[in-house]
Each structure stands twice: as C-alpha cells, then as structure tokens.
Amino acid sequence: MSTEQVAPSEKRIPSDAELSSVVSQLDALLERIGELLADGGDGDRTNDTAGLLEVERHLRGARRELGRTRRRLR
C-alpha cells in the first residue's frame, strides 16, 4: 500500500470489480471471525470474546458501507 499523497483531482474511482473483491475479502474475514467465536467453547461471549465481537461489528459495518458505496457508483 502506497503512502504517497494524491491530490483529490487525481484520485480515481475504484471499479465495481475492485469493490466486489474487497467485499469478498470482508466476507472471508467475517466468516473466519465467526468460526473463532463459534470455537469459543461454552458459548459465553462476554469476557474472552468481547474483542472479537467488536471486530465482527466493525467489519459488518464496513461491509454495509461498502455496499452503499457500490450502489452509489453504479
């Protein structure tokens, strides 16, 4: 990932294929997090899995926002 600054006028709009690829990656991450939560044992989702639940929540939010962005760009 590049750290160079790009002027707003030079930024390109990502293609739907690129955004679709990111959605697929988010889906894979969400699936993996779900597996980790399911492997948590006794189903107690309080202390030990609180961090994973927070990650899952943020990833779901990112996926929703990405879906909205894709719809706007179509």
Q: Percentage of residues in the chain with pLDDT exceeding 70?
A: 81
Confidence of residue 41 (pLDDT cuts 50, 70, 90): low
- Residue predicted with more confidence, 46 or 54: 54
In sequence order, what are the residues at sequence separation of 6 or more whose Cβ sits closer than 8 angstroms to the Cβ of residue 66? 19, 22, 23, 26
The angle that helices 16-38 and 50-73 make with each other, rounded to 10 degrees, is 160
* Beta carbons within 10 angstroms of residue 4's beta carbon: 4
Residue-wise pLDDT tens digits, 23-36: 999 999 999 999 99
